[in-house]
Chains A and B, each alone.
Chain A
Amino acid sequence: MKILVANRGEIAVRIIRACREMGIASVAVYSDCDRDARHVREADQAIHIGASPAAQSYLRIDRIIEAATHSGADAVHPGYGFLAENATFAAACRDAGLTFIGPSPESITLMGSKTAAREAAIKAGVPVVPGNEKPFASDATDQEIVASAAAIGYPLLVKAVAGGGGKGMRTVEKPQDLLAAIQTARSEAGSAFGDSAVYLERRIHKPRHIEIQLLGDHHGTVIPFVERECSIQRRHQKVVEESPSIAVDPDLRRRIAAAAAAVARSVGYHNAGTIEFLLDRDGSFYFLEMNTRLQVEHPVTEMVTSLDLVQWQIRIARGERLDLDPDRALTPHGHAIECRIYAEDPDLGFMPSPGLIRGLRPAAGPGIRDDGGVGVGYTVPVFYDSMIAKLIAWGATRGESVARMRRALAEYQVLGIKTTIPFFLWLIEQPEYGTGEYDTTYLDGLLATRRESFSELDEREEDVAAMAAALDAYLRASTAAAGQNGSKGSGVWKQAARAEALRG
């Protein structure tokens, strides 16, 4: 078997690792700016598929299919993002005689529509957030919309049928804001997804985001896993995930997992998928949506179950039976947390901070897993999502995994670019994070008024930093002085050091 990995970055590296462990050959694809990327170097083969912008490379179905055929691959793993939830791509793989490691194109289409997915959940007897069962027609009258909203009740959310990542979503607190919100959501959804259909849903007050990982094989078996808690979100994007959730007891776990499995079975779902729920404060839960792919946060599930989800995806795609013990999937062993490390400057509003990685020392040691996608000497490009690694900590208890994460974050060195590591070190010290008393609105509320740096050092640490900066300049000046006779200069650093020496 040979698998083409239709992705880049950490998830491509993650999939290549699974292939290697299984004795399967791997093929990477890459764009112009990714020639020296880690996934290219670690794969058995690598095929160039176009220019740096994703639309000219990682989103080019024709080029990826051609690369698969040309390289002799017989299967394609889409990772997440890019083409992972693109039914046309899944169908193109099938048509080219390639095994798509994921669900069927039909499942992707069905569950990719938020209203069709809601309908499927309702049919499977799973509660959904009260709301419209169908999107509004494009010529729906204002009266129809107003009446529909009144029936659902305020506050409510206007959501795009094709939405994701908070796009095309608006909160409406009062009836008089409804029509304007519908209009903006429609135009945003139209430009972002090419589909301006919207519907209404009641807004649950301060919910938690709980999701259930599933695997389904081609023989009718669906196995749900212990939940993941993903309530720490910044502008609807998950930032920290953990498993199990502090808010879910074994009884609730069984009920949510059974609901998730019922939805997946009702649509004949196979391979890996995740069903997202909102958990209300009173313990009731509502189907939110299904992600028909491997999720970014899959490692926390792997850490608490000791199962390899990517390897299972490959086995299922090969037609193997999902013969693992359902209790093992549903019973967490210990606790795991994941922090998504982005090349972003948290002190400048999380602005992307692409650039050259001058040094990299990932955290290691007991209970730590680093799913990295970059290396020293690599320039983080401006063209893609800026996540460079996922840091995962496991502990016997939540307290232990938090302590390990704190230790590992302080250990993790990324030099040359700004990352979100200082932000995580700050977040992990927040009292609500420590107690687990948070919901999906928590982080945005906390960040809304915050203007201080996440890297503030205390006076003694600033002293150390100042002495280090001075010693660095001193040592470079001494080296430069020693090297002035004979040895060749080493560029900017040396010139700067000489200037320092003269001034000193």
Chain B
Amino acid sequence: MTFEIEIGGRTRAVAIEKSASGTYRVALDGRPHELDAARVGIYGLSLLDRQTGASREVQVTPAAVPGELLITLGGRVVAATVNGRRTGRAAADGGAGAHGEQAVAAPMPGRVVRVLVSPGDEVAVRQPVVVVEAMKMENELRSPKAGRVKAISVAPGMSVEAGRILVVIE
């Protein structure tokens, strides 16, 4: 079985075949590995490289965004998709992975303090677009992708509920 895994804007082809001894022959972009994979809990995988004995613990969890996975490895977390099935928010790193329209939504109820962009503005990935105050803190909400501001649906002073779409980037 072959999977296309996209992480950080790069896609790798991973072919997997179970061996007679129960290990997995994994070809990563054609480079062979032999891995012993044990499930640990619902999301965990313990991976042992059969050649080197190298041991890695990895957690694969569904993200809030449908189709996106979060891979936790040594305290760090990266987003991944399997076979390009990514909908909703694009890769946090933007670039090639970020297709189509993306909305910046309020993650918590609060008050819009400032709108930092105007319709038609070009924005970079992670560029702050709206400042929302919640729990006495000003939170800069950033663009999930590089693109152009298509619509702004709020103005300074407005109260917003969690999930309210503030800005649409295309």
Query: B61 near A: Cβ within 8 Å?
Result: yes
Query: B87 near A: Cβ within 8 Å?
Result: no
Q: Which residue of B lies closest to A237 (CB)?
A: B137
Alpha-carbon distance between A353 and B140 when the two chains are bound, in angstroms: 13
- Residues in A with CB closer than 8 Å to B83 are 500, 503
Alpha-carbon distance between A235 and B28 when the two chains are bound, in angstroms: 43
Whether the Cβ atoms of B60 and A472 lie closer than 8 Å is yes
Query: A415 near B: Cβ within 8 Å?
Result: yes
Whether the Cβ atoms of A466 and B162 lie closer than 8 Å is no
Whether the Cβ atoms of B141 and A351 lie closer than 8 Å is yes
Question: What does the 1/0 interface line of B32-45 toward A look like (CB < 8 Å)?
Answer: 01010101011111
Alpha-carbon distance between A363 and B83 when the two chains are bound, in angstroms: 34
List the count of A-B residue pairs having beta carbons below 8 Å apart.
183
Whether the Cβ atoms of B92 and A461 lie closer than 8 Å is no
Given A410-B74, A500-B83, A503-B83, are A463 and B60 also a contact pair (CB < 8 Å)?
no
Given A354-B107, A475-B39, are A348 and B92 also a contact pair (CB < 8 Å)?
yes
Alpha-carbon distance between A160 and B59 when the two chains are bound, in angstroms: 46
- Residues in A with CB closer than 8 Å to B126 are 347-349, 451
- Residues in A with CB closer than 8 Å to B10 are 462
* The residue from A352, A456, A462, A473 contacting B139, defined by CB atoms under 8 A apart: A352
Whether the Cβ atoms of A165 and B82 lie closer than 8 Å is no
Given A415-B61, A472-B60, A504-B3, are A453 and B93 also a contact pair (CB < 8 Å)?
yes
Query: A470 near B: Cβ within 8 Å?
Result: yes
- Residues in A with CB closer than 8 Å to B60 are 468-469, 472
- Residues in A with CB closer than 8 Å to B41 are 359
- Residues in B with CB closer than 8 Å to A455 are 76-78
Alpha-carbon distance between A182 and B154 when the two chains are bound, in angstroms: 28
* The residue from B28, B56, B59 contacting A466, defined by CB atoms under 8 A apart: B28
Whether the Cβ atoms of A348 and B73 lie closer than 8 Å is no
- Residues in B with CB closer than 8 Å to A467 are 14, 26, 28, 33, 35, 47
Query: A411 near B: Cβ within 8 Å?
Result: yes
- Residues in A with CB closer than 8 Å to B72 are 413, 415
Whether the Cβ atoms of A500 and B3 lie closer than 8 Å is yes
Alpha-carbon distance between A345 and B63 when the two chains are bound, in angstroms: 13
Q: Which residues of B contact A (CB under 8 A)?
A: 1-3, 5, 7-8, 10, 12, 14, 16, 24, 26, 28, 33, 35, 37, 39, 41-45, 47, 56, 58-62, 64, 69-78, 80, 82-83, 92-93, 107-109, 124-126, 128, 134-142, 144, 162
Since A416-B70, A466-B7, A471-B45 are in contact, a sample of 7 more A-B pairs with Cβ atoms closer than 8 Å, ordered by chain A residue number, is A352-B107, A354-B107, A359-B42, A385-B135, A421-B76, A468-B73, A504-B3
7 CB < 8 A contacts A-B: A345-B92, A351-B139, A358-B62, A456-B8, A466-B14, A475-B39, A500-B82
Q: Which residues of A contact B (CB under 8 A)?
A: 53-54, 165, 167, 192, 235, 237, 345, 347-355, 358-359, 382-385, 409-413, 415-416, 418, 421-422, 425, 451, 453-457, 461-475, 477, 492-493, 500-501, 503-504
